Structure 1
């Protein structure tokens, strides 16, 4: 007998998150990256970084900052994913991308990133999407490369010592800039 939760098949709906969404968004992001719940998906950082990925203040800043949006993604009335979209002149920044671990592997990530790219072209008429990914996340980087993102080799430091971003379990963490042309 299969006791797995049924997979939802309804259409995805997209909207800009509002401050009242923050209490639901924080655990969504945490579940995709940290702690035991993240291990059921493939985006987990739990072996590399312990502690929190984000907090209510950081999520609220993304939701309310000028030139920034946190796109909430729902299916059947349930929050299943989110991503940050930030206008930075000629480019858009894509971040805080989280899909519930139990929904990973259903093709949602591909659909959501395509919608995010469409929206930033339409809203801001940008030519490129930028993101940063922990450079040792080979499987995740390969997934983004299959979606047209390219590695730049441009690195930025991981915020060691700032527990708002977690407690690193290794000393070689840094962020690599990935870029995709949108025109």
Structure 2
């Protein structure tokens, strides 16, 4: 169901870790992930993240997890990290029941704003599993470009999930960010 008002944004704290893990797992894995359109359930089994992984991102320098909320309810999250002159965007999750309502688009724009204004980043980079064509197209509609650069999937490292196929790899995507005002 489309939403009518933009969510409020804030950076996560340690108290948010359980809710972040629950949201990310619901969006990426299992039957709950199939309720939305961005699931990896057909590509990967296992966990997408855990409390220790989220805590490590919060403790890392030049790293934030941004939250989108409405009336105290967590709607979406993403991880943004400064990597030299570019931001890195990852761990993007929107409640599967609220996908396709503009929340993800708004959070992506907030992540870009944050990287540009807080860290003076000139670009935002991300990796997307190459087989997720619909998601890649969504990012392209928001100004991201495929680079043709790839990173191998970390087979054997269950922190990234248990692959259901043997041809997974990540493609780098990039978007130039506007100048800092």
Separation of aligned partners in 2, 1:129 and 1:170: 29
Q: 1:172 maps to which residue?
A: 167
1:96 aligns to 2:96 (yes or no): no
TM alignment of 1:117-156, pairs within 5 A: 117-156=112-151
- The Cα of 1:98 is off from its aligned counterpart by 0.4
For residues 20-66 of structure 1, the C-alpha deviation after alignment (integer angstroms, 9 at most, x for no partner) is 11011001001111011000000011011011011111111111211
1:79 aligns to 2:74 (yes or no): yes
Separation of aligned partners in 1, 2:139 and 2:117: 21
Two-structure CA RMSD over aligned residues (Å)? 1.2
1:36 aligns to 2:8 (yes or no): no
Report the TM-score when normalising by structure 2.
0.95
* Corresponding residue SS for 2:81: strand
- The Cα of 1:8 is off from its aligned counterpart by 5.8
- The Cα of 1:73 is off from its aligned counterpart by 1.1
CA contact (8 A) 1:8 1:76 kept: no
- The Cα of 1:11 is off from its aligned counterpart by 3.6
Out of 7, 10, 18, the residue aligned to residue 15 of structure 1 is 10
- Structure 1 segments of 4 or more deviating over 3 A? 6-11
Alpha carbons of structure 1 residues 139 and 21: separation in structure 2 relative to 1, 3 Å = same
- The Cα of 1:89 is off from its aligned counterpart by 1.1
Report the TM-score when normalising by structure 1.
0.94
For residues 162-181 of structure 1, the C-alpha deviation after alignment (integer angstroms, 9 at most, x for no partner) is 11211100011001000000
1:112 aligns to 2:107 (yes or no): yes
- The Cα of 1:119 is off from its aligned counterpart by 1.3
CA contact (8 A) 1:8 1:75 kept: no
For residues 96-132 of structure 1, the C-alpha deviation after alignment (integer angstroms, 9 at most, x for no partner) is 0000000101011111111111111110111000000
Higher mean C-alpha displacement, 58-67 vs 35-44: 58-67
Separation of aligned partners in 1, 2:6 and 2:123: 27
- The Cα of 1:10 is off from its aligned counterpart by 4.5
* Corresponding residue SS for 1:32: helix
What number of residue pairs does the alignment pair up? 178
